[in-house]
Chain A
Amino acid sequence: MAGLPERAEISPTADLTAAAPEAAAAELPPEIVAQSLGEYFRAYGGRIRAGESGVLPVVVAMVAIVVVFQAISPNNVYLSAGNVVNLFQQSAVIMVLAMAEGFALVLGEIDLSVGFVGACGAAITVQLVQPATTNWPWPLAIVAGLLFCLAFGAIQGLLITLLRLPSFIVTLGGFLVANGLFLKILLFGPFSGYPNLIGQTDNLHVIYYLMWGTIDPTTSWIGAGVVVAGLGALIWWSDSRRRGSGLVAPPASISLIKIGVVAVVAIVVVAICNVNRANLGTLEGVPWVIPIVLAVLAAWTILLQRTKYGRYVYAIGGNPEAARRAGINLTLIRTTGFMLCSFTAGVGMLLYGSYLNGMSNNVQGGQYVLYAVAAAVIGGTSLMGGRGRPLHGVLGGLVIGAIYNGMYLMGLQFEWQYIVTGLVLLAAIVIDAVSRRGSGSGSATRV
């Protein structure tokens, strides 16, 4: 029997269920094994112990940050309505940039150019609405800025996919090119170097209001009610339909808890925003920027979770070879991923331009890239590709904004903000690496 492997005969009655490793049980999302509320929480506990904790760590971190800063901030101003709304506004830019970076990260790539590419788009918009020069209507100016971002993303994406260049290097080059272009764009026009939004035209007002405009309190409540009702109905309808047809579905109590969480968050946010937070006069209502961020979150969540395109993005991030064999056009999906990344960055930096009331060469595009990556990873997006949601970018952006804001209130300047944000990023990445090692997954071979 020249070198033939001999194998013991197997009893045909061997217990086949024994083949499933016990360890796997802990990795299952709780909603797919649990039939009741108690089971659900037990399964969730098992998952946390196995390192698959979803958004829980970032929520815990957020609570810890809030408690600490509330305790130590001067006059406990941290949780005052004025500061919380300010914190939302500061975080909004990082949230949107982190959602942008999410496209690259889920594909298993990275985009270092988001800060300055977005800044170029925003600078184009701000220049085009200047009454002294072009005086374009604001929608056209915004479209022009975002089109620039799409084109820049397309060039980077094609270089990465067609020539198979590493995204790290291509977008590093793109970062420098965009930095230079940004400074060039600023030089046009009468406010050479510092195009701003100061002035009385409606065009300038709209761009300025993206960050600073508020919705009046009554409308805020109505809007929140509509959002909660719509989202709640959607959750309830889809969950109960799945329960009815015998598919894997969470128990009814979990659906109700999900709807309850959405409602509580909405009520708390609107209640805080509707407090008059001005020292003099009236400043109340939900800032425009909150529905803008929510709209980006909703659009990208639907795109990534509910469409073929999103499914392919995750498949490429998880196993590009499997995606290729399934007939997926890797070049197309990857390139459009980089385009959407740059596009979303344009939205984020437009909000930043609005926040700064104009664009100038003080814009820290390089620093914002790092915050964007950090926010996505802190929120739970994996750097190895295949895992991450737009919601992670929003939560991570809130954490970074909360640290930034708290340290600013303490009078600690940039040195300490950098150090603490960096440490939080390291903590997040350690959690990501440890949980991946625990689950034993990860096949990111590049095709």
Chain B
Amino acid sequence: MTAAVAEPRATAEPLLKVRELDKHFGPVQALYHVDLDLPSGQVTALCGDNGAGKSVLTKCIAGAYQADHGQVFWEGQPVHIHNARDASRLGIETVYQDLALADNLDIVQNMFLGRERLRTGLLDEDAMERAAAETLASLRVTTVKSIRQPVASLSGGQRQSIAVAKAVMWNSKLVIMDEPTAALGVVQTRQVLDLIKRLRDKGLAVMVISHNLNDVFEVADRIAVMYLGRLVVQAPASSFDRQSVVDFMTTGGSSRTGGRTARES
């Protein structure tokens, strides 16, 4: 057993375990012996300064990059994720910062892009519209006027909501979100944070990459901090305060009380 000792809600095997992950690009060591746990029903915030390796780690999990060494366990079983298709087959969906929505298509068309339903060879718009409406209702995304409006006419928060809904639609178990609130205003940030909490309440594992400590402390159950390619700490959010997270992000350690490292056990 590793860090799970300190976490009462994660008594079972974490949904995703990353062990001793290494990744280098030429001479640059981007990840060094990274260990990370992502339990179901919890929001894990991944923090770190620019260049700490957050995106590389995310992309290794999402199948966009291949790690050089190390292992990934999914529901306790070792897995190899070679591409985004492998990841979605397991139930891992990633919402990148640019959201990847086609402005000229409507909400339903975007949510089903690449996985359209057919009836007698033609698109089954009715079935897709019903399924999309159900997903949006279950996430309580209610601010869009119509599910048939083009994405170009949505606000930033609405777009983020649609991108998340698109990700969770496929029975995904882990949703990774890259800076979900970075470009959003106050009200829209609220929408997205509420949405993240709803994903957690539905039992999904959520990993949020964020620089914004307000958001991190609001939604995260667990916090993991990266510093220069190493995962220096991961622990329940309650054991951190803002200053200790900043210390870990900027120096890789903290003299303040609270932050327990993942390797303490």
Given contacts A4-B246, A248-B129, contact A19 B100 (CB under 8 A): no
B183-191, B199-207, B219-227, B253-261: which one contacts chain A? B183-191
What 0/1 pattern do residues 96 to 116 of B give for CB contact below 8 A with A?
A: 101011111100011001111
CA distance A17 to B155 in the complex (A): 11
- Tell yes or no: B264 within 8 A of A by CB: no
CA distance A228 to B191 in the complex (A): 48
A12: chain B residues at CB < 8 Å are 190
- Tell yes or no: A375 within 8 A of B by CB: no
Contact A311 B126 (CB under 8 A): no
Instruction: Output the nearest chain B residue to A310 by Cβ-Cβ distance.
Output: B123
- Tell yes or no: A443 within 8 A of B by CB: yes
- Tell yes or no: B6 within 8 A of A by CB: no
- Tell yes or no: A257 within 8 A of B by CB: no
- Tell yes or no: A306 within 8 A of B by CB: yes
Instruction: Output the nearest chain B residue to A436 by Cβ-Cβ distance.
Output: B152
B31-39, B73-81, B142-150: which one contacts chain A? B142-150
Number of B positions contacting A (CB below 8 A): 52
CA distance A197 to B178 in the complex (A): 65
Which of A308, A440, A442 sits near B118, CB closer than 8 Å?
A308
Contact A14 B190 (CB under 8 A): yes
Given contacts A4-B213, A19-B191, A247-B126, contact A24 B103 (CB under 8 A): no
What 0/1 pattern do residues 124 to 146 of B give for CB contact below 8 A with A?
A: 00100110000000000011111
Contact A325 B103 (CB under 8 A): no
CA distance A71 to B241 in the complex (A): 81
Contact B123 A25 (CB under 8 A): no
A302: chain B residues at CB < 8 Å are 122
- Tell yes or no: A326 within 8 A of B by CB: yes
CA distance A219 to B109 in the complex (A): 41
CA distance A241 to B129 in the complex (A): 13
What 0/1 pattern do residues 239 to 255 of B give for CB contact below 8 A with A?
A: 00011001000100000
Give the interface centre of B114, B116, B188 by most chain A CB atoms within 10 Å.
Answer: B114
What 0/1 pattern do residues 193 to 214 of B give for CB contact below 8 A with A?
A: 0000000000000000000111
Contact A319 B103 (CB under 8 A): yes
Contact A19 B123 (CB under 8 A): no
Q: Tell me the B135-190 residues at the A interface (CB within 8 Å).
A: 142-150, 152-155, 157-158, 185-190
Instruction: Output the nearest chain A residue to B116 by Cβ-Cβ distance.
Output: A308
Report the minimal beta-carbon distance from A219 to chain B, rounded to whole angstroms.
30
- Tell yes or no: A163 within 8 A of B by CB: no
Contact B126 A318 (CB under 8 A): no
What 0/1 pattern do residues 14 to 51 of A give for CB contact below 8 A with B?
A: 11111111001101110111000000000000000000
Report the minimal beta-carbon distance from A188 to chain B, rounded to whole angstroms.
41
Contact B145 A24 (CB under 8 A): yes
What 0/1 pattern do residues 247 to 261 of A give for CB contact below 8 A with B?
A: 110000000000000
Given contacts A4-B213, A27-B150, A315-B105, contact A19 B188 (CB under 8 A): yes
Given contacts A24-B145, A28-B149, contact A16 B114 (CB under 8 A): no
What 0/1 pattern do residues 316 to 346 of A give for CB contact below 8 A with B?
A: 0111011101111000000000000000000
Which of A2, A27, A317, A387 sits near B153, CB closer than 8 Å?
A27
CA distance A13 to B118 in the complex (A): 41
Contact B100 A325 (CB under 8 A): yes
- Tell yes or no: B26 within 8 A of A by CB: no
Contact A308 B123 (CB under 8 A): yes
CA distance A5 to B215 in the complex (A): 11
A443: chain B residues at CB < 8 Å are 103
B157: chain A residues at CB < 8 Å are 19
Given contacts A20-B143, A327-B84, contact A441 B187 (CB under 8 A): no
Report the minimal beta-carbon distance from A380 to chain B, rounded to whole angstroms.
13
A306: chain B residues at CB < 8 Å are 122-123
B186: chain A residues at CB < 8 Å are 7-8, 10, 14
Contact A2 B155 (CB under 8 A): no
- Tell yes or no: B121 within 8 A of A by CB: yes
A164: chain B residues at CB < 8 Å are none
Given contacts A14-B187, A29-B148, A248-B148, contact A318 B105 (CB under 8 A): yes
Report the minimal beta-carbon distance from A49 to chain B, rounded to whole angstroms.
15
- Tell yes or no: B69 within 8 A of A by CB: no
Contact A19 B158 (CB under 8 A): yes
Contact B122 A317 (CB under 8 A): no
- Tell yes or no: A1 within 8 A of B by CB: yes
Which of A2, A245, A247, A311 sits near B250, CB closer than 8 Å?
A2
CA distance A327 to B113 in the complex (A): 9
Give the interface centre of B85, B121, B148, B157 by most chain A CB atoms within 10 Å.
Answer: B148
- Tell yes or no: A242 within 8 A of B by CB: yes
What 0/1 pattern do residues 3 to 43 of B give for CB contact below 8 A with A?
A: 00000000000000000000000000000000000000000
A10: chain B residues at CB < 8 Å are 186-187, 189-190
Give the interface centre of B109, B110, B114, B153 by most chain A CB atoms within 10 Å.
Answer: B153
Given contacts A21-B155, A325-B100, contact A247 B129 (CB under 8 A): yes
Contact A248 B123 (CB under 8 A): no
CA distance A5 to B189 in the complex (A): 14
Contact B126 A16 (CB under 8 A): no
B152: chain A residues at CB < 8 Å are 27, 439-441
| Chain A residues with a Cβ under 8 A of chain B | 1-2, 4-8, 10, 12, 14-21, 24-25, 27-29, 31-33, 241-242, 245, 247-248, 302, 306-308, 311, 314-315, 317-319, 321-323, 325-328, 386-387, 439-443
Known: A5-B212, A322-B101. 13 other contacts (CB 8 A): A1-B242, A10-B186, A10-B189, A10-B190, A24-B149, A24-B155, A27-B149, A314-B104, A314-B105, A317-B104, A322-B113, A323-B113, A328-B114
Question: Can you list 11 A-B pairs with a CB-CB distance of less than 8 A?
Answer: A8-B186, A16-B142, A20-B155, A28-B146, A311-B109, A314-B104, A319-B104, A321-B100, A322-B110, A326-B100, A328-B114
**3 nearest A-B pairs in the assembled complex, by CB-CB distance:** A326-B114, A441-B152, A318-B102
